[in-house]
Structures are given as structure tokens and as C-alpha cells.
Amino acid sequence: MSNRYLGIILPKSTYEAMPGLEGGTRSMFLIWERAARERGLLLCYFRFFDVKPGNEMVSAYVYEEDTFQLKEVPAPKVIYSRVLDHLPVYRAHIKALMKEGYQVYNVPNYDVEKHKVHEILLPYASVAPHLPHTELFSIANLNQMASRYNQLILKKSYGEFGMGAMKMERRKAGWLLSYKTKNGELKQVEVKSKLPPVLVSRVQSQTYMIQEMIPLADYKGHPFDLRVATQKNEVGEFQVSGMMCKVANGGDFLTNGAQGGKTYTFEEVAKISHPTISYATLVNNLHRLALETARILDRHFPHLADLGFDIGLTKEGKPYFIECNFISDYVGGLFQDGQILHEKWESVFRTPIQYGKYLMDRKKD
């Protein structure tokens, strides 16, 4: 019997939750399972270093009889990585596997610093007009950016979920810094002759960048941006599999679900946010920017497959690339009480499995 297993490398926290997955995470796994079985595949789930060069078997979880069971299965030759780590030991392991004929897709173990991504995109005329001005943090860069813009966003160049992000806004009395505490409380402090201690502490402990804050369109008074899932499909080409609007909560400046933002369909939001611009025009512009950006990044980072772009939209309908998520986690925003909010968003989870089937078929040729 041929090896019909497609492997999925899980983050440590997800693997350790097996087999007792719950809520949206379990629902996501079941969508993967349905997509695989529709294409005659079996899925197996393991940690990054469980598959070893030279080993024909791997200890992995498989879905049988309505539960996930740990068992020995043939080591899959095509593997979908859901782990973000750029440490040299990970790179060496990937290279060793590929040397023995394994194909690992969605490999993120390159330098995926957000500022680096902006530098890669900047020379391309097709996307440069859609990039907010971005600089690495320094006092000189902060002063220079503050002289040009009335609103700035300061965020970690390696950050996730909006953690540690800060907003600086020019007021009549001077600059105001907004930030969130570890407990999620939104605080504000005036920026006077010296930088506030919270800002100094954060930029000293992490690499930060300064970004021109795009004046986002709003939905019922709350600013929003979009998570645009851009993935390789069953014929090996990038497609936009789904677009989700992330709407900020209350007076917050962050749209991330982890920061209290809520998720809506763009169709629902666009009727109110852009009533004078046709929905088809907005969608076409967003798709064009996402696909062009994906193709550029694909030239620089081999084996990409599953990208989640954060794209801002102005009131005039112009899209701006904010950042790229190389491992995009949709569970927090797309599921509620363990159920996916909109059936069409299933494509976001199905498409990477379909691409895995495409790669498996190519290995047989």
C-alpha cells in the first residue's frame, strides 16, 4: 500500500493538547480531516523533530473512530509546517529532511522580521505605493517620523497578536502615547521632553519598528483592517482563500482578536464602510495587492504556501500592506463556541491540504 499520509507539524502547545482538542481548534482539525479524506489522503500530526532522516516510521496522532490516537505510521514524504521558528537548528533539520527526499511546505524558518519584509517589497513598483512608511526604531528615526506624521504605530519587528504595540498621536498639547498593559488595560501617557519609561523599557528589550499609521476606514465608528488568507492551491498557484475583517473593540487602536477585536465578513462591513464604492472594485484591489505581494515573497522565501496578510483600507478604498503572518492562526477569529462563523471561511483551512495533495501527486510523476 502506498504512503497516503500527509504530515502536519504542530506547535508544541497544540501537540501537548492532543488528543483532547476542544472548541475551534478541534473544529479546524476536523476541517483538515474532511479535506484530506475527500482527496484520498490520511493526515498525521507530530512535532518538528519527530520525523528524522533515515527513519521510515514516525510516532504521530491520527484521527480514527472520532478521536485522535497516537500510533506508529509511515513517515510522510510531504509535510505541512505549522511552526514558526528561524533558529539554525530548525533550518538544519529542514535541510536534512529535504536532502532525503522529504518535501516540507510553508517553511517559515528564514528571517521573517517585519521590517525585513518591508525592505524586500519596497523596490517593487506594483506594491510600493501600498506600503506605509516604516523604519526601525531609533531616536533619530522617531524624531524624523514624528516631524512628518500625526499618528505613528510602534510595534515589535518579531511580534505576534499585536502584543506590545503602542500608538503615538499628535495632540494640541503635544504627543500622546497609548499602550496596553499585560492585563489588557488601555493606558495613555503624555510624551514630553523625555520618552515615557514604558516606551523606553519595551524598545530596549525588543527590536521595534516605527510605522506611519494608516487612517483606517471604520465600521460603525470602529477602525478595521483585513486578514487576507493567501495560499497555494490544488494547482500550485496562490489564491485568496478568504478575507476577514478585524474590527477594533471600543476605543482601542488594535484590531487583533487577541486584543479584543471582532471578526466580520468583508461583505457585511463594506456596505457600511464604503457605500459609494462597488464591492467588486474593493475586492479586486485587495486581491491584486495580496497576490502580487505573495508572489514577490515567494521568490525570496522558498516553500511558502500559507500566508495571512494584514491589509488596511482607507475610507477612499486604497489598500495598504501592514504585515505578513507566515504562520497564520485563524482559530481565535473564525470560530465561536467551536463552530466556524461562516461556512465559506472553511476554504482557509482546506486550501493548504489541497496544496499538499498537489505536491504528493508531483512526487509520483
Specify whether the backbone of 200 is left (phi greater than 0), alpha (psi in -120 to 50) or beta. alpha
Which residues neighbour 364 within 8 Å (Cβ) at sequence distance 6 or greater?
A: none
Buried b / exposed e over 244-279, threshold 16 CB at 10 Å, is bbbbbeeebbbbbbebbbebbebeebbeebbeeeee
Q: Where are the alpha helices (DSSP H) in 156-213?
A: 197-205
Residue 154 phi/psi, 5° resolution? -110, 125
The pLDDT assigned to 134 comes to 94
pLDDT of residue 163: 74
User: What is the per-residue pLDDT for 1?
Assistant: 41
Place of cell 514577490: 296
What does the pLDDT read at residue 259? 46
Residue 32 buriedness (CB in 10 A; 0-12 / 13-18 / 19+): buried
Residues 6+ apart with CB under 8 A from 197: none
Per-residue pLDDT of the chain (365 residues; tens, 9 = 90+): 457 999 999 999 999 999 999 999 999 999 999 999 999 999 999 999 999 999 999 999 999 999 999 999 999 999 999 987 777 888 889 889 999 999 999 986 566 788 999 999 999 999 999 999 999 999 999 999 999 999 999 998 876 656 788 999 998 878 999 888 877 788 888 887 788 888 888 888 888 999 999 999 999 999 999 999 999 999 999 999 999 998 887 655 554 444 457 889 999 999 999 999 999 999 999 999 999 999 999 999 889 999 999 999 999 999 999 999 887 777 777 888 888 888 889 999 999 999 999 999 987 76
Grid cell in block for residue 269: 462591513
Residues in contact with 42: Cβ distance below 8 Å, sequence separation at least 6, in sequence order: 4, 5, 6, 36, 62, 73
Residues forming a β-bridge with 155: 209
